Amino acid sequence: MLNTLHLRSLLIVGASAAAMSTVASPALAQNVIQELVVTAQKREEALQDVPIAVSAFDQEALQKGKIDGGPNLVLAVPNVNFSKGNFTGYNFQIRGIGSKLVAGSGDAGTGIHLNNAPLISNNLFETEFYDMERVEVLRGPQGTLYG
Protein backbone atom coordinates (compact mmCIF):
# COMPACT_ATOMS: atom_id res chain seq x y z
CA MET A 1 0.00 0.00 0.00
CA LEU A 2 2.87 2.34 0.75
CA ASN A 3 4.35 1.67 -2.69
CA THR A 4 1.06 2.48 -4.43
CA LEU A 5 0.72 5.70 -2.43
CA HIS A 6 4.28 6.66 -3.37
CA LEU A 7 3.59 5.78 -7.02
CA ARG A 8 0.40 7.86 -7.02
CA SER A 9 2.18 10.88 -5.58
CA LEU A 10 4.91 10.56 -8.23
CA LEU A 11 2.28 10.35 -10.97
CA ILE A 12 0.48 13.42 -9.63
CA VAL A 13 3.73 15.39 -9.43
CA GLY A 14 4.72 14.23 -12.91
CA ALA A 15 1.33 15.14 -14.37
CA SER A 16 1.37 18.59 -12.78
CA ALA A 17 4.91 19.21 -14.04
CA ALA A 18 3.89 18.16 -17.56
CA ALA A 19 0.85 20.47 -17.41
CA MET A 20 3.03 23.36 -16.25
CA SER A 21 5.49 22.78 -19.09
CA THR A 22 2.71 22.87 -21.70
CA VAL A 23 1.28 26.03 -20.16
CA ALA A 24 4.68 27.73 -19.91
CA SER A 25 5.90 26.87 -23.41
CA PRO A 26 3.78 29.51 -25.27
CA ALA A 27 5.08 32.15 -22.87
CA LEU A 28 8.64 31.07 -23.55
CA ALA A 29 8.00 31.06 -27.29
CA GLN A 30 7.13 34.76 -27.12
CA ASN A 31 10.58 35.66 -25.79
CA VAL A 32 12.72 36.61 -28.76
CA ILE A 33 16.47 36.84 -28.47
CA GLN A 34 17.63 40.14 -29.87
CA GLU A 35 20.46 39.86 -32.37
CA LEU A 36 23.40 42.11 -31.54
CA VAL A 37 25.23 43.57 -34.54
CA VAL A 38 28.94 44.34 -34.14
CA THR A 39 31.60 45.81 -36.43
CA ALA A 40 34.54 43.81 -35.10
CA GLN A 41 35.75 42.95 -38.61
CA LYS A 42 35.02 46.41 -40.08
CA ARG A 43 31.63 45.27 -41.39
CA GLU A 44 28.32 44.78 -39.68
CA GLU A 45 27.71 41.16 -38.64
CA ALA A 46 25.80 39.32 -35.97
CA LEU A 47 27.84 38.79 -32.81
CA GLN A 48 27.38 35.00 -32.97
CA ASP A 49 28.91 34.93 -36.49
CA VAL A 50 32.12 36.77 -35.54
CA PRO A 51 35.12 34.42 -34.97
CA ILE A 52 36.79 36.89 -32.58
CA ALA A 53 36.58 37.12 -28.79
CA VAL A 54 34.24 40.10 -28.42
CA SER A 55 32.43 41.62 -25.48
CA ALA A 56 29.70 43.83 -26.89
CA PHE A 57 27.10 45.97 -25.17
CA ASP A 58 24.26 47.71 -26.96
CA GLN A 59 22.56 50.79 -25.54
CA GLU A 60 20.01 48.74 -23.60
CA ALA A 61 22.72 46.53 -22.05
CA LEU A 62 24.74 49.61 -21.07
CA GLN A 63 21.73 51.08 -19.28
CA LYS A 64 20.68 47.77 -17.71
CA GLY A 65 24.20 47.04 -16.44
CA LYS A 66 24.65 50.66 -15.31
CA ILE A 67 27.78 50.95 -17.44
CA ASP A 68 28.02 54.70 -17.74
CA GLY A 69 31.76 55.12 -18.18
CA GLY A 70 35.13 53.47 -18.55
CA PRO A 71 35.57 52.38 -14.92
CA ASN A 72 32.27 50.46 -15.03
CA LEU A 73 33.14 48.97 -18.42
CA VAL A 74 36.33 47.49 -16.98
CA LEU A 75 34.27 45.74 -14.29
CA ALA A 76 31.89 44.27 -16.88
CA VAL A 77 34.47 42.89 -19.35
CA PRO A 78 36.74 39.93 -18.49
CA ASN A 79 40.53 40.19 -18.89
CA VAL A 80 40.50 44.00 -19.03
CA ASN A 81 42.38 46.17 -16.53
CA PHE A 82 42.78 49.92 -16.28
CA SER A 83 45.07 51.83 -13.98
CA LYS A 84 45.59 55.55 -13.86
CA GLY A 85 48.87 57.12 -12.88
CA ASN A 86 49.83 60.68 -12.15
CA PHE A 87 48.21 63.42 -14.19
CA THR A 88 47.51 61.98 -17.67
CA GLY A 89 49.33 58.65 -17.32
CA TYR A 90 47.24 55.53 -17.73
CA ASN A 91 47.63 51.85 -18.52
CA PHE A 92 44.85 50.04 -20.33
CA GLN A 93 45.45 46.28 -20.52
CA ILE A 94 43.68 43.46 -22.31
CA ARG A 95 44.93 39.97 -21.43
CA GLY A 96 48.05 41.49 -19.88
CA ILE A 97 49.06 43.47 -22.98
CA GLY A 98 48.87 47.15 -22.21
CA SER A 99 49.36 50.66 -23.41
CA LYS A 100 52.07 51.54 -20.90
CA LEU A 101 55.10 52.52 -22.92
CA VAL A 102 58.72 52.41 -21.86
CA ALA A 103 59.79 54.93 -24.50
CA GLY A 104 57.83 57.75 -26.06
CA SER A 105 58.55 56.40 -29.52
CA GLY A 106 56.96 52.99 -28.93
CA ASP A 107 53.51 51.90 -30.01
CA ALA A 108 50.92 50.80 -27.51
CA GLY A 109 49.87 47.16 -27.42
CA THR A 110 46.20 48.15 -27.13
CA GLY A 111 44.18 50.74 -28.95
CA ILE A 112 40.99 52.61 -28.23
CA HIS A 113 38.81 53.73 -31.12
CA LEU A 114 35.87 56.10 -30.86
CA ASN A 115 33.65 56.24 -33.98
CA ASN A 116 36.32 54.30 -35.93
CA ALA A 117 38.98 56.91 -35.09
CA PRO A 118 41.89 55.99 -32.80
CA LEU A 119 42.20 57.97 -29.58
CA ILE A 120 45.77 59.12 -29.12
CA SER A 121 45.16 60.73 -25.75
CA ASN A 122 42.92 58.47 -23.72
CA ASN A 123 40.08 60.44 -22.21
CA LEU A 124 37.68 57.53 -22.55
CA PHE A 125 37.90 56.68 -18.85
CA GLU A 126 37.38 60.26 -17.72
CA THR A 127 34.12 60.79 -19.61
CA GLU A 128 30.68 59.24 -19.40
CA PHE A 129 29.00 57.15 -22.07
CA TYR A 130 26.29 59.57 -23.12
CA ASP A 131 24.10 58.58 -26.06
CA MET A 132 26.40 55.65 -26.89
CA GLU A 133 24.98 53.19 -29.43
CA ARG A 134 27.26 50.30 -28.50
CA VAL A 135 30.61 49.41 -26.97
CA GLU A 136 32.77 46.58 -28.32
CA VAL A 137 35.87 45.19 -26.64
CA LEU A 138 37.93 42.98 -28.96
CA ARG A 139 40.38 40.60 -27.29
CA GLY A 140 42.94 39.11 -29.59
CA PRO A 141 45.24 39.98 -32.49
CA GLN A 142 43.27 42.61 -34.38
CA GLY A 143 46.44 44.26 -35.72
CA THR A 144 45.62 42.94 -39.18
CA LEU A 145 42.33 44.83 -39.17
CA TYR A 146 43.10 47.93 -37.15
CA GLY A 147 46.85 48.35 -37.75
Helices (H), the chain: 2-30, 59-64, 70-76, 143-146
Burial class (CB in 10 A: 0-12, 13-18, 19+), 69: middle
- The pLDDT profile of the chain, 147 residues, written as one tens digit per residue, is 444 434 344 334 444 444 444 444 555 557 767 777 887 777 888 888 888 888 888 888 888 998 888 778 888 988 888 777 666 667 778 887 776 665 566 667 777 777 777 776 666 667 677 778 888 888 877 665 665
Q: Do residues 80 and 137 make contact, with C-beta atoms less than 8 angstroms apart?
A: yes
Residue 91: predicted pLDDT: 75
Q: What's residue 109's pLDDT? A: 75
Number of Cβ within a 10 Å radius of residue 122: 20
pLDDT of residue 17: 45
- The CATH H-level superfamily of 38-146 is TonB-dependent receptor, plug domain (2.170.130.10)
The pTM assigned to this predicted structure is 0.62
Q: Specify whether the CB–CB gap between 82 and 69 falls below 8 A.
A: no
What is the domain partition of the chain in residue ranges?
Answer: 1-32, 38-146
Half-sphere exposure of 54 (CA within 13 A, CB side): 21
Q: How far is CA 67 from the centre of its chain?
A: 11
What does the pLDDT read at residue 64? 92
